[in-house]
Chains A and B, each alone.
Chain A
């Protein structure tokens, strides 16, 4: 293994498994990081580029903030949805403008127009995001019962599990196919670069340098 002195100069970056990974890799490439040796073996979850002193690991997107908060990774890439839901103490120095989508409220098409959002008082909402959902409806003065699901949220109203859903939407295709319509956009979502507090203080130059390179890459890609 590398000696501890070297270890200190390596930046460990947690990347989310799934759809964001490709875009994230694209940004690092645009920032001049040689990604050719990274994750060639699909089963390997950790991979380094020694020339840059960067170590990448692939974890579940919901776990990225946890790795970074505890300092197991110095930096990470996480969606605003995950960050807002978990509300951890992290720096969020850069909006990467990838993984863009919307978080919205949807309801069965036959409910649309029957009850306007202004008259909502109480309802059941299925979501992967209980905290965001509770906070959002609380601010509107609506009491909600959250049905926490881990996937296929669109099914919940069809089977009478909930009145409405809160979920991420990219194109709206899945909603349509399941007889749901959008009621309200709650917020725009994109992925952000997040940073552990101690890492930023211990390695300010390296972190600032990488943030600046990625910021330029974001501008180019945009």
Chain B
């Protein structure tokens, strides 16, 4: 019998061998200078945090995904960071409170999460991200962040990708003025999240007090995805504030990103409600051909700093390095196929 322990690794983590490590280094070497040239400075945050401190800024989704244990020396519950944004918000609101706005920070570090879905792959995710803190919320800030992400992807040589822009405040503003229960709101939101128009119309049939205009708008939200014309179609159906203001803001962001020469790479999805609980406005995600999940994601989180004692407008995003390497591999193998 063999007495050696089985040489294996815990679920969801892996070794990265030189061939792949080289590819990752190339991504780092091309992306970080783009962020730096836009005035972002590097920051590092600790791998461990107290759960109660992290929980101030993190919604239940992320809290549940954190790997936690009890610190033997203090008896307090400690988590490995499941997300860097909330940590940076804590740093900006506390240690950096005397720095003048705007504050622009970027990072390149790993987060550790229990996978969200059964099929999910990695527990340890390398992220290269950027966070932008300012006194006011402006569409220009969101557009700059989106354009910077696109510039970085283009610097990597990636061609076939889309950045999809939405706004969590859009659906929220429609739901808020309906007189329905929280449970009904959640049901509607979940159906829209998976673009399930059939389930949505069954739900809406059961809820009383929804006008025909609102009903049409909600059902249409499941199809309001695609190119810029989606914004025009939505504008015809949206009446009244604050939904109109949200739509105007999105239009402005879309046209700013397009006029930076990125019109080929942006799409709109008004029915997108995914993402972290701390998002308050514009959200955006990057997708590439042949990679099944997002290559980066981000959004506005104007209420997060308040949780740590200071208020500021904020927006940011994080590249999923593994997925970006996969997208580059995919595109490069496609190119050699054509040449052959």
A170 within 8 A of B: no
User: Is B118 among interface residues, defined by CB-CB distance under 8 A?
Assistant: yes
Interface membership of B335, Cβ < 8 A? yes
B199 touches A (CB below 8 Å): yes
Instruction: Give a binary string over A186-209; 1 marks a CB under 8 Å from any B CB, 0 the rest.
Output: 000000100111101110110010
Say yes or no: A201 contacts B267, CB within 8 Å: yes
Closest to B227 in A: A204
CA distance A196 to B166 in the complex (A): 18
- How far apart are B149's CB and chain A's nearest CB, in angstroms? 14
B338/A3 in contact, CB under 8 A = yes
Q: Which residue of the partner chain A has the closest CB to B331?
A: A4
- Binary contact readout A79-106 vs B (1 if CB under 8 angstroms, 0 otherwise): 0000000111111111100000000000
| Distance between Cα atoms of A5 and B117 in the complex (Å) | 32
Please determine whether A208 and B119 come into contact, CB atoms closer than 8 angstroms: no
Which chain A residue lies CB-closest to B268? A204
Contact partners of A204 in chain B: CB under 8 A: 225-227, 267
User: Is A88's CB under 8 angstroms from B162's CB?
Assistant: no
Complex Cα–Cα for A167 and B160 (A): 44
Q: Given A200-B225, A208-B226, A91 and B194 touching (CB < 8 A)?
A: yes
B173 contacts chain A at the CB level, 8 A cutoff: no
Are A89 and B267 in touch, CB under 8 angstroms?
no
Contacts of B289 in A (CB 8 A): 8, 198, 202
| Contact present for B291 and A198 (CB under 8 Å) | yes
Task: For A201, give its contact among B116, B222, B269 (CB under 8 Å).
Answer: B269
A66–B119 alpha-carbon span in the complex (Å)? 7
Judge whether B335 and A92 touch: CB under 8 Å: no
| Residue contact B293 to A197, C-beta cutoff 8 Å | yes
Q: Mark A58-78, 1 if CB is under 8 A from B, else 0.
A: 000000001001111000000
Report A44-70 residues with CB < 8 Å from chain B CB: 66, 69-70
Q: Does B337 lie within 8 Å of A4, measured CB to CB? A: yes
Q: How far is the CA of A47 from the CA of B197 in the complex (A)?
A: 30
Given A3-B337, A94-B198, decide whether A89 and B116 contact each other with a Cβ distance below 8 A: yes
Contact partner of A5 among B227, B267, B290, B338, CB < 8 A? B338
A95: chain B residues at CB < 8 Å are 196, 198-199
Asked whether B119 lies within 8 Å of A90 as measured between CB atoms, the reply is no
Contact with A along B276-300 (1 / 0, CB 8 A): 0000000001011111111000000
B164: interface (CB < 8 Å): yes
- Shortest distance from the beta carbon of A108 to any chain B beta carbon, whole Å: 32
In this assembly, does A34 line the interface, its C-beta being within 8 Å of a C-beta of chain B?
no
Q: Could you say which residues of chain B place their CB within 8 Å of the CB of A201? A: 162, 164, 225, 267, 269, 285, 287
| A7 lies within 8 A of chain B by Cβ | yes
B195 at the interface (CB under 8 A from A): yes
B261 at the interface (CB under 8 A from A): no
Residue B46 CB within 8 A of the other chain: no
**Interface of chain B residues 133 through 164 with chain A (CB within 8 A):** 160, 162, 164
Question: What chain A residues lie within 8 Å of B288 (beta carbons)?
Answer: 198, 202
Interface residue ranges of B108-127 to A (CB < 8 Å): 116-119
In the bound complex, what is the Cα–Cα distance between A204 and B164 (angstroms)?
11
Contact B294 A197 (CB under 8 A): yes
Contact present for A69 and B334 (CB under 8 Å):
no
Interface residues of B in 75-131 (CB under 8 A from A): 116-119
Cα distance A147–B196 when bound, in Å? 32
Evaluate contact between B335 and A4: CB separation under 8 angstroms.
yes
Cβ of B223 under 8 Å from chain A: yes
How far apart sit A7 and B118, CA to CA, in the bound complex (Å)? 29
The docked-state distance in angstroms from the alpha carbon of A1 to that of B225 is: 31
The interface residues of chain A lying within 8 Å CB-to-CB of B116 are 89
In the complex, the answer to whether A93 meets B117 with C-beta atoms within 8 Å is: no
21 CB-based A-B contacts, threshold 8 Å: A3-B338, A7-B334, A8-B160, A66-B119, A69-B117, A69-B292, A71-B293, A86-B119, A88-B117, A89-B293, A91-B196, A93-B195, A93-B222, A94-B197, A95-B198, A196-B292, A201-B162, A202-B160, A202-B288, A204-B226, A205-B227
With A86-B118, A198-B294 given, name 18 new contacts (CB 8 A).
A8-B289, A66-B119, A71-B290, A92-B194, A92-B196, A93-B196, A95-B198, A192-B198, A197-B287, A197-B293, A198-B287, A198-B288, A198-B291, A201-B162, A201-B164, A201-B267, A201-B287, A204-B225
- B residues neighboring A (CB under 8 Å): 116-119, 160, 162, 164, 194-199, 222-223, 225-227, 267, 269, 285, 287-294, 334-335, 337-338
